[in-house]
Structure 1
Amino acid sequence: MAQAYSIESAIHEQLARVGTCSLDELVDLLPGYSWNQVFDAVDRLTREGTLSFQHPGPFLYLLSLAPLQSVEAGA
């Protein structure tokens, strides 16, 4: 599980630095990991809601950190 935490932290760090990027750009920013490892981690992070995944056009997928959700007291 240490490997999963490491890649997830690296993804968060890179997206905090660059803002929005494509999956292929993110893979290029993480040369220590394979495309499959990055894709698997991105899948996990988008499912848990910490990454935002957009599909603005054909063959274009953009990733960014999801906005923080505030929890209202008493809600």
Structure 2
Amino acid sequence: MDKGHKKCLILWMRIQYWADSILRFVRENGIEDGVMTVEDIRSGFETRGTELAGIDRGVLMRALKLLEQKGKAVIFKGN
């Protein structure tokens, strides 16, 4: 993960799995056109008890970027 090759990321599930999990969560909860923050996904009320609860922020961002590349999500900075 770093230029000095002293850090690495070991995944137990592929990023595609997490992207699919996010899409499934969104569809099951009827929030396809909604807006959620990264923290809402990681630790919000809606995700309690799901596999997304407590997801590593780096893994979540990679999954969201993959969804964005596929035209299934939009990432934007807000205040």
Q: Do structure 1's residue 6 and structure 2's residue 8 form an aligned pair? A: no
Give unpaired runs (5+ residues) of structure 2. Answer: 1-12
TM-score (norm 2): 0.55
CA contact (8 A) 1:14 1:26 kept: no
- Quote how far apart the aligned CAs of 1:52 are: 2.9
Q: Which has the higher contact order (CA 8 A, sep 6+)?
A: 1
Give unpaired runs (5+ residues) of structure 1. Answer: 59-75
- Quote how far apart the aligned CAs of 1:54 are: 4.5
Following the alignment from structure 2 to structure 1, what is the Cα–Cα distance between the partners of residues 66 and 17? 13
Q: What's the C-alpha RMSD, in Å, of the aligned pairs?
A: 2.4
Change beyond 3 A, Cα 1:44–1:18? same
Greater fraction of residues in strand:
1
Number of equivalent positions: 57
- Quote how far apart the aligned CAs of 1:7 are: 0.5
Following the alignment from structure 2 to structure 1, what is the Cα–Cα distance between the partners of residues 61 and 22? 11
Letter in 1 for 2:21: A
